[in-house]
Amino acid sequence: MISVAQLLDDFGMGGVTRALTMFDEPRLRAHGTSLVVPIKSSEKLAPSLQVDLIVNHTALSWKRLVFLASLRARNPSARIVHVEHSYTHSFEADQVASPRRFRIMLKLAASLVDQMICVSDAQREWMREEVGISDYLLQTIYPWSGRFELGNVPALKPRTRRPLRLLAYGRFAKEKNFDALVTAMRYFAAENVELTIFGDGPDKATLIDLAAPLPHVKIDEPTNDISAYLANCDAVIVPSRNEAFGLVATEARLAGRSIIVADVDGLPEQVGSAGIVVPLVNPEDIAIAIRWALRAPLSQMGQAGRNEVASQHDEIIAGWSTVFAQAAKSKRHAVADQSGSMVA
């Protein structure tokens, strides 16, 4: 049995916070007990935690390197793992002014931890091939949704004479590209396509303004109760500009709904038989994808996606079990080394 500290600096609604519920799963609690440790974004000196495994969920930056260095220095016997929730090839291309400097920061961060967990294979490939982080440091474990209730969402019935009902949700911010999605709805009549988006964020006012002249677009407040929304849609669309994984796509498949996702980062890994991967950069791209959805067998695709994602929770538990096992192994070696030193 090992002790684990989960370092987190953002407790807002989102995938990272939900992911921590995984560590309450009995299969992981059998290996170790986890404690969430809040970390301020401005904090430079790391705490001394007296645990066997430290899992860092905080965002990497040049300022954060000082914190990581002190974390290593103040916890010399702990195994330190960083989970990279955000940075990807598309993030770098879209938001980083100096890729070379950015990659140096990531490599320095990697040198301060024992392992880096990537949330998609695409992210891992980018870190290995483009950033230059050693493969032995990298492991892919998909994020945990914990939304088992989505398995109870009724299967989608084939659409007849009603409009196609599309759903999107998440943070209202530039990277989600919801402004292009709303604008694409200008190409469709209300009797043909409806769109509902729920969430919150800095672009909320912009989205409300864009949707104002479109009676077939609805902007709703954020909610953790997503089952009703998924039950009432035909497909979920994820037009993100960058997306390390895209938990929304997983949740759609768990609910038996087909998905339309952008061809960026970790999103294509989730599609399988559940939908399509297409460019969704601008409103015209998105309109083409919606026209595809008007003709596609969405009910069959949704059921296929639900079948394909059924084992994902078990795979995630298995991945984290290996992380815990490695920490337990390091702990045993440390104890053995200490005993040998005492005998000598």
Q: What is the mean pLDDT of the chain?
A: 93
Give just the sign of the alpha carbon dihedral 281, 285, 291, 293: negative
- Per-residue pLDDT, averaged over 313-339, amounts to 83
Q: Are residues 161 and 134 in the same domain?
A: no
Q: Using 50, 70 and 90 to split pLDDT, how confident is the model at 13? A: very low
Instruction: Quote the number of domains for the chain.
Output: 2
pLDDT at 44: 86
* 8 Å CB contact between 198 and 169: yes
Size of the chain in residues: 344
Q: Which two tokens stand for residue 162?
A: 């009603």
The secondary structure of residue 131, as a DSSP letter, is: I
CA distance 86 to 241: 12
Residue 301: CB partners within 8 Å, gap ≥ 6?
A: 258, 273, 274, 275
Q: Provide the 8-state DSSP code for 226.
A: -
Q: Does residue 123 share a domain with residue 20?
A: yes
Residues 176 and 137 both lie in one domain:
no
- Nearest C-alpha neighbor of 244 from the set 41, 136, 115, 92: 92
Residue found under tokens 């024992």: 114
pLDDT band at 160; cut points 50, 70, 90:
confident
Give the domain extent around 97: 2-144+312-343
Identify whether residues 77 and 170 lie together within a single domain.
no
Query: Are residue 219 and residue 248 in the same domain, yes or no?
Result: yes
Q: Does 341 have pLDDT greater than 80?
A: no
17-31, 118-132, 153-167, 307-321: range with lowest mean pLDDT: 17-31
- Looking at the fold, whether 156 and 285 belong to one and the same domain comes out as yes
Enumerate helices (H) and strands (E) in the chain, giving the number of each. 13, 12
Task: Judge contact between 184 and 287, C-beta under 8 A.
Answer: yes
Q: What is the pLDDT of residues 103-136, one digit of tens each?
A: 999 999 999 999 999 999 999 999 999 999 999 9
Asked if 295 and 183 sit in the same domain, the reply is yes
3-class SS letters over 168-182? EEEECCHHHCHHHHH
**Sole residue written with tokens 């404690």:** 35
25: closest CA among 238, 246, 315? 315
The predicted-structure confidence for 73-83, as pLDDT tens digits, reads as follows: 999 999 999 99
Q: What is the pTM of this model?
A: 0.92
Residues 65 and 197 in one domain: no
For position 188, which CATH number holds? 3.40.50.2000
Do 12 and 139 sit in the same domain of this protein? yes
283 with 233, same domain: the answer is yes
The C-alpha atoms of residue 83 and residue 60 are separated, in whole angstroms, by: 10
Shared-domain flag, residues 299 and 153: yes
What's residue 161's pLDDT?
A: 86
Instruction: Tell me: do 155 and 304 sit in the same domain.
Output: yes
